[in-house]
Chains A and B, each alone.
Chain A
């Protein structure tokens, strides 16, 4: 695993802050250890499929380990209800493997084009957070190659070898070492379809009310932040559970576990100016909202359509053009609905063209000190990065979040201030102590870690 002379420009999914690094693609844990040993003065960092939005998966001037080469056989143990896979395995591949055998992953993010390693490093959450918590809660064991080249098998409990390091790695944004393999708890499903209930709501209160009482396994609301006044926060709430055979219309029962994952690519050229603006978004939102049924019950939907609607359009991030996109995602505790409404209102007042405002309810967190989810409401908003005044506006929101006991999601961030994030993650010092033990020479580092002074 020699460090190549050539450097590659890397950026996050938002395409905003490219920096150059030497990239190697290890295929085995041994090659990972070898690469880490050869890291230079600018350190090293694992990277997955680059679906974090900001600068989490880049290390300017350093060595980036492209972990998508860590693939190989996936092993499902139905008796124990767990699957073991190399960390470079994509969620897409994992889901395909599991569905064929009548099983499903415990948590999936809104895109299936993430690696298992990247998903653990961000402790990703899905639309089932109140019921299932985040991915870390289902990791039974993981293999971590630390900066000294040692391979450690870690588990979450007292018999897990070094549970502190396990939890520092879950949500640890690649800064404790390279995850090379993981074992996840999985569960059986009868079909690859979801049984979906859809409701259109007329206001934020109505949306929150419906979400608060959703006791289905999965729920999510898509909000129209373009609407104003009383209609602000109107949206579409979809609640779902895995469809059983009996829920499926007869034609679907013939191949109940069918899984199709192809997407249509967006044209490969990045337009010099974004095509995402107030008008296109207004039209999209109005269309989307009016297309949704006012109320529908028990619709069978392929799970890809429910969980990963955006994956249908590959490379959609390029629609924002050269300036790229920012995603602002935060969680505020229950009782701070006013803060949520305030931020939504400010975005609406600024006529910020946001295609995607996704509201989720969150439940119990994992013990990961840097893990994002907290009980409360999470809102994620995509915005064009070159909106005038965006930087200052978002810093303003950050302050409201800190005051409300809320926090930002690191996997989406590329712009917050170090002090802000330190205030939002009070367990950062505890995490640092564990990290220092695992990486005393500070080999693992990222652009995000430098910007937010995480180390």
Chain B
């Protein structure tokens, strides 16, 4: 639950080593969160010192986005560790290389399985728990890449587009349940994931994404952009004629 000054007590991070996700959790711990569950493949053996150093108890559970049958169990494990989940940050994903995906369709489908269907199963499992407890927020790391899909990374972008649509529908399904979904649309964020791609204009650091999420959690926002300027920018890009978009986004 968000307390009366906007702090939360417990956070579950799906994608327990994600740089952006970790920055968000660190920010929430600075603001008062006391219980953290990091969910990652094989668990997280050495949690970031920033979290433990700030006085939070950090737990870890095994989580693989590619194994949808295990997702309800993952959520239950987290609940067994910390009780009600105040915030769940859904931050796992793979970017990969578009040209490699085009050469290896099976690899492309596997990445889409992480970036789209993995979120579907774990997202629904989380939503069921939040609905039952009558409060809580699922923060979904979408991306501007899904706002208008580009030729240069359409395998990743289309999965993000699907995820974004899924998250919005899920948000509507939770209306009135006390729980909600916050969709986060960052632009370029320099992390491990994006190290191999050209920086795009209007980048944001993981810390800036965390600031935007923290502000979004304190308000009744349904969507946050990081940085905020991307919202009007992408409103324009969505209107751009297809031929022009194709050439710009190669």
Contacts and interface: CB of A to CB of B under 8 A. Distances in A.
Interface of A: 6-7, 9, 12, 14, 16-21, 41-42, 53-55, 59-62, 322-324, 326, 385-386, 390-391, 394-395, 413-415, 417, 447, 450-451
Nearest to A40: B132
Contacts of B132: 41-42, 61
Interface of B: 1-7, 9, 31-32, 34, 83-84, 131-135, 176-179, 218-220
A55 B7 CA distance: 14
Contact of A20 (B4, B134, B218): B134
Contacts of B34: 417
Given A18-B135, A54-B3, A391-B32, 20 more contacts: A19-B134, A20-B176, A20-B177, A42-B133, A42-B134, A55-B3, A59-B134, A60-B133, A61-B131, A61-B134, A61-B135, A322-B220, A326-B4, A385-B5, A386-B218, A391-B5, A391-B6, A395-B32, A417-B34, A451-B3
B6 A386 contact: yes
A61 B3 CA distance: 16
Nearest to A390: B5
Contacts of B179: 20
A3 B73 CA distance: 28
A249 to B, nearest CB: 45
**A interface secondary structure, majority:** loop
Contacts of B9: 451
Contacts of A14: 4
A324 B178 contact: no
A453 B220 CA distance: 27
Contacts of B220: 322
A394 B83 contact: no
Given A18-B178, A20-B134, A61-B132, A415 B7 contact: yes
A88 to B, nearest CB: 24
A60 B219 CA distance: 19
12 contacts: A16-B3, A16-B6, A19-B178, A21-B178, A60-B178, A62-B134, A323-B6, A324-B4, A391-B32, A414-B4, A447-B1, A451-B1
A7 B4 contact: no
Nearest to B218: A386
A348 B31 CA distance: 23
A55 B1 CA distance: 10
Contacts of B3: 16-17, 54-55, 391, 414-415, 451
Contacts of B31: 391
Most chain A CB neighbours (cut-off 10 Å) among B5, B6, B176: B5
Nearest to A6: B176
B135 A60 contact: yes
A447 B135 CA distance: 10
A394 B176 CA distance: 31
Nearest to B177: A20
A21 B132 CA distance: 10
A450 B134 contact: no
A323 B2 CA distance: 12
A60 B1 contact: yes
A7 B134 contact: yes
A7 B178 contact: yes
A385 B177 contact: no
B84 A16 contact: no
A7 B218 contact: no
A161 to B, nearest CB: 35
A61 B178 CA distance: 8
Contacts of A385: 4-6
